[in-house]
Chains A and B, each alone.
Chain A
Amino acid sequence: MATVDYPLERPREKVREFSFSETLYKWVATVDHKRLGLMYIVSALLFLVIAGIMATVIRLQLAVPNNHLVSPETFNRLFTMHGTTMVFLVGMPFVAGFANYLVPLMIGARDMAFPRLNAFGFWIFLFGGFLLYYSYLGGGGLSGAGSAPDVGWFAYAPLTESAFSHGSASDYWALGILVSGFGSIASAINVIATAFSLRCPGMTLSRMPMFVWVMVVDSWIILLALPPLSAAQIMLELDRQLGAHFFDTQAGGSAVFWQHLFWIFGHPEVYILIFPAFAILSEVIPIFSRKPLFGRPAMVGAVVAIGFISMGVWAHHMFAVGMTSWGNTFFAASSMLVGIPTGIKIFNWTATMYGGKLRFDTPLLFCCAFLFQFLTAGLTGIMLAVAPFDWQLHDSYFVVAHFHFTLVLGLVFGLFAGIYYWYPKAIGRMYNEKLGKWHFWLFTIGVNVTFIPQHFLGFLGMPRRIYTYSPGRGWELFNLISTLGLLFQIPAILIFVWNMVHSAIKGQPAGDDPWDAWTLEWSTTSPPPEYNYEKLPVVRSSRPLWDLKHPQDPDWKFE
Chain B
Amino acid sequence: MDNMTRRVFAGAAALAALGVVTGAAAQQPVKIGVIYPLSGNSASAGNYSKMAIEVGADVVNNGNAELAKIMPIAKGGGLSGLGGAKIQLIFADNQGTPAAGQNQALRLISEEKVAAIIGAYQSGITVTASAIAERHGIPFLTAESVAANLTERGFKWFFRTTPVAIDFARAYSTFLREQKAAGQKVGSVALVHENTEYGNSVASVIAEQFAKDGLPVTQKIAYSANSSDVQPQVLQLKEKNPDVAIFISYTSDAILYTKTMKELGWKPAIMIADNAGFNDPAFVKSLGGSVEGLVNRSTFAGGKPGSVPELFNELYKKKTGGDSLDDVSARGLQGFLVMADAINRAGSTDPAKIRDALKATNLPASQMVTGYEGVKFDDKGQNILASTLITQMRGGQYVAIWPKDRATAQIVLPYKGW
A, B bound: no
Interface residues of B (CB under 8 A from A): none
